[in-house]
Amino acid sequence: ESLPPVKNLPKEGTETWDVTLSVQGQTIPMTSQRSVRRDGDNWVIEDRMKTPFGSAVDVSTYTDSLAPLSRSVEQGGQKIELTYRDKKAEIKANGTTTSLEYNGAILDLGGGRDAIIAGIDWQEGDSLGLSVVNLEQKKIATQQLKCEGTETLDGTVCLKVTLTDVKNTADKTTF
């Protein structure tokens, strides 16, 4: 099983934007950059973040149909490598390798996940159970993607899609 087909593919190019994070009365300025390019038949989506605390780079490589192949995360002197193959995810970090098996569809949580979710032809009420790799805990988590309906942002009607952890419903991201 795999994700539904992504009908609206990402556009190649680079976007940069300024981000301000507000936490407990403090504002933290950041710069975020996304680069999307083709590498042969594959897609490479790279997200870079510059903050007052350092930089982070998250690079994901996908097949032509946007199934995940690999992910590389670098931040604070740490590097984590993740590869997907034959219903297994392999994490290499700090000199150790962890192999995890998964069933069904998998969504890589790295660069481009928002573009992949947005590219699916959603109808209100559509939902999909899938697996994701939790890099911090080095385990597979089961989550649900669901099209909750629409909302209007800056005068534009947008679909509202949520990604929710099945075991911890407070762990929810809205796209």
Distances (CA, A) of 8 to 56, 65, 118, 121, 161: 27, 11, 8, 8, 16
**Entry field: residues in the chain:** 175
pLDDT of 113 reads 92
Cβ atoms 94, 76 nearer than 8 A: no
> What does pTM read for this prediction?
0.89
pLDDT of 3 reads 87
Q: How confident is the model at residue 169 (pLDDT cuts 50, 70, 90)?
A: very high
Percent of the chain with pLDDT over 70: 100
**Tens digits of residue pLDDT in 129-139:** 999 999 989 99
pLDDT of 147 reads 96
**Tens digits of residue pLDDT in 9-68:** 899 999 999 999 898 999 999 999 999 999 999 999 999 999 998 999 999 999 998 999
pLDDT reading at 1 higher than 90: no
Burial class (CB in 10 A: 0-12, 13-18, 19+), 135: middle
